[in-house]
Amino acid sequence: MHSKPILALLLVLLLLSACAQAAPAPVAVVVVATPTVVPIATQAEIPTLQPITETDARGKAFEFAQAVSRIISLAPANTEILFAVGAGAQVFGRDSYSDFPAEVKSIADVGDTLGTINTEAILAAKPDLILAGDLTPAEHIQTLEDLGLRVFVLGNPKNLAEMYDNLLLVARVTGHVQPTEALVNSLKEREKVIDQKLAGVTERALVLYELDGTDPNAPWVPGPGTFVDTLITQAGGTNLGASLEGTWVQVSLETLIEKQPDLILLGDATWGGMTVQMVADRGGWDALTAVKNGKVFPFDDNLVSRPGPRMLEGLEALAKFLHPELFQ
């Protein structure tokens, strides 16, 4: 398997990004969900907007006298949200990791949010708003603000309800409230259907969600309160990492043998090219019941690590893995 520094990978995960350029071509990843319809803005004119005041994740208040028309996104989740609410035509720059939807690849790349941002490219785009994430490095934010640019930090949601709030907030400042309200209502209906199907669930499978198995004796897993933990719980399972301390934490093989997860999902199939066979070949992993029973599957980590509309696809996919009998 391609060896990738753990710290770099976790920083990528924390920034909700795609894999770095050095990563190998991804293997086929199982996605068992109805795709989210992303309404791309095609109108030539930017919608009008009544003057509003919005507060970012830092508690900083921003006044918007009109809808922002030239936006630069510094986080993949922000980019997905902008396109989802219909503001794709208003995006004039994006970070190197933004790769969804496909249209973003034609937008100017303003740099690697894990490394160096291209301030010249950002200034050349003449943005009226920089949409950062609350995990965007503080030095990047300070540099941009020192250049006289407005940087609005969109907070990372802890659950689907907060993700819906982010969609509506971005819609308000870009002038796309009405279509976004319809989008949010449709997402809530999908969530409601899933919750109703799972309402009678009494048995919860113990899930090992692997973020990075570079060290097979101590793979990294999502801890309590993370997006993955929240979605696994809502999908009718129990996250093995929920009993540990930390955001992204390592768990020993001895602990895995003791806890015996019922299901292993490989988020690092997306990030690092991990395969089911690689897991089967690990020393000592044949002691895990999930490995013996063939309950190891690749999983598209983008669906649960980027807090945008595709999180509904992630919830649906997890629920179908955990309770396939309810989704025939």
pTM, 2 dp: 0.83
Instruction: Kindly state the tokens that stand for 317.
Output: 């996919």
What's the per-residue H, E or C state across 133-156? ECCCCHHHHHHHHHCCCCEEEECC
pLDDT > 90 fraction of the chain, expressed in percent and rounded: 74
Nearest to 197 by CA among 320, 300, 30, 36: 320
**Inter-residue contact 295 to 264 (CB < 8 Å):** yes
DSSP label at residue 66: S
Dihedrals φ, ψ of 111, to 5°?
125, 170
Are residue 190 and residue 211 in the same domain, yes or no?
no
Computed over every residue of the chain, the mean pLDDT equals: 86
Q: 124 pLDDT exceeds 70?
A: yes
List 94's β-bridge partners, or say none. Answer: 73, 109
Are residue 171 and residue 227 in the same domain, yes or no?
no
Residue 36 lies in a domain: no
**Average pLDDT of the residues in 250-256:** 96
Give the highest mean pLDDT range of 41-45, 91-95, 301-305. 91-95
The predicted structure's pLDDT at residue 185: 97
The predicted structure's pLDDT at residue 22: 33
- Tens digits of per-residue pLDDT, 7-48? 444 444 444 433 333 333 333 333 333 334 444 444 445 666
Q: 271 pLDDT exceeds 90?
A: no
Are residue 120 and residue 59 in the same domain, yes or no?
yes
Are residue 176 and residue 207 in the same domain, yes or no?
no
Are residue 61 and residue 183 in the same domain, yes or no?
yes
Are residue 211 and residue 310 in the same domain, yes or no?
yes
Task: Find the length of the chain.
Answer: 328
**Average pLDDT of the residues in 310-318:** 95
Final residue of a structural domain among 194, 221, 253: 194
Final residue of a structural domain among 194, 215, 243: 194
Are residue 258 and residue 132 in the same domain, yes or no?
no
How far is the C-alpha of 296 from the C-alpha of 229, rounded, in Å?
Answer: 18
List 63's β-bridge partners, or say none. Answer: 53
Question: How many beta carbons lie within 10 A of that of residue 154, not counting itself?
Answer: 23
Number of independent structural domains in the chain: 2
Final residue of a structural domain among 168, 194, 220: 194
**Average pLDDT of the residues in 153-172:** 94
The CATH number given to whatever domain includes residue 308 is 3.40.50.1980
How far is the C-alpha of 8 from the C-alpha of 27, rounded, in Å?
Answer: 21
Are residue 23 and residue 61 in the same domain, yes or no?
no
Q: 117 pLDDT exceeds 80?
A: yes
Are residue 216 and residue 320 in the same domain, yes or no?
yes
Query: What is the Cα Rg of the chain in Å?
Result: 20
Cis link prior to 137 (omega < 30° from 0)?
A: no
**Average pLDDT of the residues in 187-209:** 95
Distances (CA, A) of 35 to 27, 185, 300, 309, 316: 19, 16, 13, 10, 10
Residues 6+ apart with CB under 8 A from 54: 61, 62, 64, 152, 169, 172, 173
What is the residue range of 267's domain?
6-30+201-326
